[in-house]
């Protein structure tokens, strides 16, 4: 073959190789192109074998053309291989993509605040409007704050009413416990601040209790006012006001004499059963007498107990170095969970803190 023919064979080989590379749609196809052109028996090897058929300048010229073709082919091959490999990885990533985003939840399907938190917010709003300050108290406290300074010394039978979780402690004098009521905040507030005081505090309490209306962890709101000339009328007015703000204007309340060592006199507060009266009250009507009594929630008594209250005992003032001749005060403690339960029509207090039924089914206690 003449030099001219050999050079046009190089040009054809170059164009065919470039086309072959461009048309190869995956690495394996490209490898076939490589073998056909650059393999031991490929077109490039065939052209290289022709070098020896030429002499002198022609041989040099053709040899350079073959070397240039070899270099060009190698570059083409590398660049196309890189592109195909990248495309293959991207396709694989697209195919195997895991969608780790949470699906957008429809507004109607979103959760809401827990009923106890909602009740807490309502009470917060009512009492801040009545100019009460809001204090926090510790969940873990000393026996002194939970009991002794509230006129409940060790071995007082009133301790039996609050089955207590004590914490292991080396110090017998200063035993730690999970507070059984929010009344410990009275002690903290009165030892840190001087009267006049108008305080509420809401938080967790703990007792070894478990039935339809009792849980080992529950919530209370404590309220107390200390000033000169505070009377039971202030106590009654405050309680009536906040209960009516929650359950409606027609709500009936009842104060039943009761005993708490840290108040004198003391009372338990009942409200007219909201389950029986609820619909009539919501419609703003005075329910007829027969509609007031008689449902399972109030055990057919027409009344539901929601908390305790009373006038702060002089012994409590004295333990806090407050002149009980000059100052008087009232205090109350209500179960937030009980209030939420009655407000939202929940018939088992334990469901407030339980997992969904499918989880509960596995717990023998709920089975």
Residues in touch with ligand FA5 (CB under 6 A): 181, 183, 207, 209, 214-215, 218, 220, 260, 263, 266, 305-310, 331-335, 337-338, 349
Please, which residue, 242 or 260, has the CB nearer to ligand FA5? 260
Could you tell me the smallest distance in angstroms from the CB atom of residue 190 to ligand FA5?
A: 13
CB of 161 to ligand FA5, least distance (A): 6
Compare residues 62 and 206 and give the one whose CB is closer to ligand FA5: 206
Closest approach of Cβ 186 to ligand FA5, in Å? 7
197-206 and 133-134 beta bridge pairing = parallel
Dihedral angle sign, alpha carbons of residues 131, 132, 133, 134:
negative
Shortest Cβ 93–ligand FA5 spacing (Å): 54
C-beta closer to ligand FA5: residue 66 or 221: 221
Q: 339: how many CB neighbours lie within 10 A of its CB?
A: 27
Least spacing, CB of residue 295 vs ligand FA5, in Å: 18
Nearest to 333 by CA among 142, 123, 100, 159: 123
Residue closer to ligand FA5, measured from CB, 216 or 287: 216
Q: Which is nearer to ligand FA5, 137 or 302 (CB)?
A: 137
Which one, of 111, 163, 116, lies nearest residue 349 by Cα? 116
Residue 9 or residue 202: which is nearer to ligand FA5 going by CB? 202
Q: Which of 62, 56, 44, 49 is nearest to 2 (CA)?
A: 62
For the bound state, the minimum distance from the C-beta of residue 232 to ligand FA5, rounded and expressed in Å, comes to 12
Name the residue whose CB lies closest to ligand FA5. Answer: 335
Q: Which is nearer to ligand FA5, 64 or 161 (CB)?
A: 161
Is 48 in contact with 63 (CB distance < 8 Å)? no
CB 306 within 8 A of CB 339: yes
What is the nearest approach in angstroms of ligand FA5 to the Cβ of residue 135? 14
Query: In the complex with ligand FA5, which residue's Cβ is closer, 277 or 305?
Result: 305
Q: How far is the CB of 152 from ligand FA5 (least distance, A)?
A: 10
Residue 233 CB, shortest distance to ligand FA5, in Å, is 16
At its nearest, how many Å lie between ligand FA5 and the CB of residue 162?
6
Closer to ligand FA5 by Cβ: residue 13 or 274: 274
Q: Which is nearer to ligand FA5, 204 or 280 (CB)?
A: 204
Identify the CA nearest to 77 among candidates 51, 53, 42.
42
């Amino acid at each position: 073959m003449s030099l001219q023919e050999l050079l046009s064979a190089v040009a054809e080989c170059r164009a065919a190789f470039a086309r072959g590379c461009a048309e190869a749609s995956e690495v394996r196809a490209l490898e076939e192109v490589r073998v056909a052109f650059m393999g031991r028996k490929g077109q490039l090897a065939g052209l290289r074998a022709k070098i020896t058929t030429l002499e002198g300048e022609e041989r040099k010229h053709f040899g350079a053309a073959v070397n240039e073709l070899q270099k060009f082919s190698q570059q083409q091959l590398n660049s196309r291989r890189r592109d195909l490999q990248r495309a293959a990885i991207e396709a694989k990533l697209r195919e195997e993509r895991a969608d780790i985003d949470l699906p957008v939840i429809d507004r109607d399907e979103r959760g809401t605040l827990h009923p106890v938190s909602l009740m807490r917010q309502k009470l917060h709003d009512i009492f801040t409007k009545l100019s009460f300050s809001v204090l926090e108290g510790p969940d873990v406290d000393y026996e002194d704050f939970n009991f002794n300074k509230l006129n409940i010394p060790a071995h007082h039978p009133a301790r039996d009413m609050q089955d207590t979780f004590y914490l292991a402690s080396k110090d017998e004098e200063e035993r730690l416990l999970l507070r059984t009521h929010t009344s410990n905040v009275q002690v903290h507030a009165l030892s840190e601040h001087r009267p006049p005081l108008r305080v509420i505090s809401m938080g967790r309490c703990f007792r070894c209790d478990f039935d339809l209306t009792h849980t080992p962890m529950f919530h209370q709101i404590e309220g107390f006012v200390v000033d000169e000339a505070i009377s039971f009328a202030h106590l009654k007015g405050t309680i009536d006001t906040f209960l009516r703000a929650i359950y409606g204007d027609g709500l009936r309340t009842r104060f039943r004499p009761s005993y708490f060592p840290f108040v004198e006199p003391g009372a338990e507060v009942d409200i007219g059963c909201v389950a029986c009266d609820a619909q009539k009250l919501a419609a703003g009507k005075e329910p007829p007498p027969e509609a007031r009594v008689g449902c399972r929630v109030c055990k057919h008594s027409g009344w539901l107990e929601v908390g305790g209250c009373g006038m702060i005992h002089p012994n409590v003032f004295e333990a806090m170095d407050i002149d009980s001749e000059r100052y008087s005060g009232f205090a109350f403690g209500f179960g937030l969970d009980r209030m939420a339960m009655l407000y939202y029509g929940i018939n088992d207090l334990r469901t407030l803190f339980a997992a969904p039924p499918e989880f509960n089914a596995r717990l023998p206690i709920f089975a």
